Chain A
C-alpha cells in the first residue's frame, strides 16, 4: 500500500526512478546473502590426471586448507591402484561468515597403467551417477527441501608439462567428458618450464584443443551476454593456466610467501611472473564459482535429464541400478 507520488523535484533515488521514498527492494540482495550465508554453499570439484602431477597439493593451495584426502606430506606409501578409483572427501571451510562444504573428488589410477584404454569410464560413470541421484530426488513426490548436490561442478584436468603437446589420453578424456561436466584444463608443475617454453606450450595445447573440438569451461556457447563474452574471451585466451602448488612458506624480500625452494631460487606460487596460480584461483573461486554451479545445473544436468526422460518416455525414473556410494 504504497502511494506513488510523482514529483519533479529534488528526490531522486538510484536509477532515476520517480518514486518518492525508499521502498527497500534492494535489500532483497542482502536478504539473499544472509540466507545463503546461513545455508552455506556446496561445491564439488574433481581432479583428474596421472599420479604425481600435484593434484592434491594444488587443491590444498587453492583453498588454503588441507582439504585433500592425503596428508600434507609428499611421500606416498600407497600403491597405484589397478583400476581408476573414485574417492571423495568433504570439508567445511569458512571465510568471512560464509560456509562452504567443499567436496574433493580424487581419481587415483587414472592414466597410470600401461594400458589406459577406457580409464575414463569409471569417471564418466561417477559423474552420471550424481546426475541420476539428483534426478531421482527431483522427480520424487515428496522432495527434500534442499536436494543434496553431489554433482561435479568442476573437473580440473591436469596436463603434464612435457613442453611438447597434449598426450593422446588427454584428448580422449577431454573429448569424451567435456559435454557432461565443466572441464578446466591446467598445466601442472609449471616450474618445469621457462616463461618462453610455457607460452609456446600453451599455444600448442590451445591449438590442439581447438582442433579436437574440445569445449572447455567457460564454454563459448554459454556466454550470457556481451559482457560475459568479453570477460570470458580474455580468460579463454589465457587458458590453460600453468600452475604451481605449494603448502610451504618461505621468506622472500621480507614477506612470507607460498613457494617451492630450490638451489637457484624460490618459486613463488602467487607471483604472476612465476606462474599463473593466482589467475586460476581468481577465476575459479573469486569470479566463476557460482557460474560453475549454474552451468552444471542448467546445462549439463538438464542435458542428462532430457536424455533420461526421453529414454523412458515418461517421468518415472528407471529402477535404481547400483549406484556407487562415494567414500567419505
Chain B
C-alpha cells in the first residue's frame, strides 16, 4: 500500500515536532544503501514470450545466448529450474533481480505433475529460509524466496486449460500468482475482453487464489483510487513484449512490426504491458514481498512446525527443530556465495588476529 508523504514538510514547522516522521525517509535511505532484491518466477509453455517479456520489463537482454531446443531434443526433457541474476541500478537505487525460469513446463505429451519441480523449488527456498532464520548467524541471510510468479496463459484458447487450473491450484498458496494473457497482439480488443471475462470467471469457479491488489487506503486521492480500480478490472493483463525497437509515430519504441501495422509495447491502447510494469515494479513490488513473507512463508512455516510437533507427539522423540525436506545440491550460485563467505570469514579472522598481535 502506498503512503503519500504529504504531511512531513508541514510538520517540520510545528513546535511539537519530535522528528520521527522522518522515519520513512530514514528507512528509505537505509534501503537505498542496502539495495533491494526481488525474485520473479516465470512459468508457462515454451513459446509464450516469457523471455521477451522479462527483457521488456527490465530493459535487459538476459537471454542473449540462449539456444532453443527443437522438438526431438526436448523429448526427454524434464522441467528444469534456471536462475538468472542481474543487478540493475536506476537513480542510485540498486535492485538485485533474480528471474527463475521454468523451461520444459507443459511442453511434453504427458504433463502430469509437471508443476512438481516448481513447487519443490519454492518449498526448498522456504525451507532454506526457515533454516537460516532459525540459525545462529542471521546477519547475512540470503532471501531466495520467490516473490511473484508470472503465469503465461496462451491467447489461443477459450479460457483456462486443465494444465492452467492444476498449476495455479498447486501454487496459489505458495507464491503470489499473477496470470497473464501472453502474445496478446493476436487478439482483437473484443476477443481480449471475452477471454479476460472468461478467465476471471474460471478463476472464481475453480477457487484459484491469484495475487490480489491490496485495497486502497481511504485517504488516497480520487485519481489514485480510480487508477487502482481500473487496474483491478483489467486483470488478467494481456501483454506483449519485444526485444526490438521500431519507428512508430515519429518515435523509436519497443514494438513489433507487422505488414498490417505496428504494435507498440508501451502503448496502453495496444496492450496492458504498462499496467503490468507499473504494478509489478512501480507500485506493488514491495507488497508482493510482504505477502510472500507474511502469508506464504508463514503458512509454510506454521505447517512445518505443526508437522514437527505432531510427529514429536507421535514418535515421542526429540528431533531437530529444523524440518528436513529433500534439498537439492546447492547450485553454482549458492556454492560461490558459500565460498565467498568462507573466504570473508577467513580474511576477517586474519585481520582480527593481526590487530590483536599489534
Contact = CB atoms under 8 A, between A and B. Distances in A.
Interface of A: 50-54, 74-76, 80, 112-117, 160-172, 188-189, 191-192, 194-195, 204, 207-208, 211-212, 260-268, 271, 273-274
A80 B264 CA distance: 34
B162 A112 contact: yes
Given A165-B70, A166-B71, A266 B260 contact: yes
Nearest to A268: B260
Contact of B161 (A76, A112, A166): A112
Contacts of B261: 262, 264-265
Nearest to B256: A194
B259 A160 contact: no
Interface of B: 45-49, 68-72, 74-75, 107-112, 114, 154-158, 161-163, 166, 183, 185-191, 194, 198, 256-264, 269-270
B269 A74 contact: no
A191 B186 contact: yes
B112 A52 contact: no
B260 A115 contact: no
Contacts of A51: 156-158, 161
A274 B260 contact: yes
Nearest to A204: B70
A244 B124 CA distance: 45
Contact of A211 (B72, B162, B270): B72
A75 B198 CA distance: 9
A165 B260 contact: no
B161 A164 contact: no
B260 A76 contact: no
Given A53-B156, A168-B74, A162 B46 contact: yes
Contacts of A112: 161-162
A75 B256 CA distance: 28
Chain B, interface SS category: loop
A51 B161 CA distance: 9
A194 B156 contact: no
B259 A195 contact: yes
B160 to A, nearest CB: 10
Given A75-B194, A114-B111, A191-B186, A52 B158 contact: yes
Greatest chain B CB density within 10 A among A74, A168, A195 is at A168
A268 B166 CA distance: 37
Nearest to A118: B109
Contacts of B162: 80, 112-114
Contacts of A188: 156
A168 B70 contact: no
A80 B158 CA distance: 10
Contacts of B114: 114
Nearest to B248: A264
18 contacts: A51-B157, A52-B154, A53-B156, A80-B162, A112-B161, A113-B162, A164-B46, A165-B69, A167-B71, A168-B71, A168-B109, A188-B156, A192-B186, A212-B71, A212-B72, A262-B263, A265-B261, A274-B260
A115 B110 contact: yes
Given A115-B111, A192-B185, A262-B189, A267 B260 contact: yes
A194 B258 contact: yes
B141 to A, nearest CB: 37
Contacts of A116: 109-111
Contacts of B269: 263
A237 B258 CA distance: 23
B191 A165 contact: no
A52 B157 contact: yes
Contact of B163 (A114, A168, A195, A268): A114
A162 B183 CA distance: 9
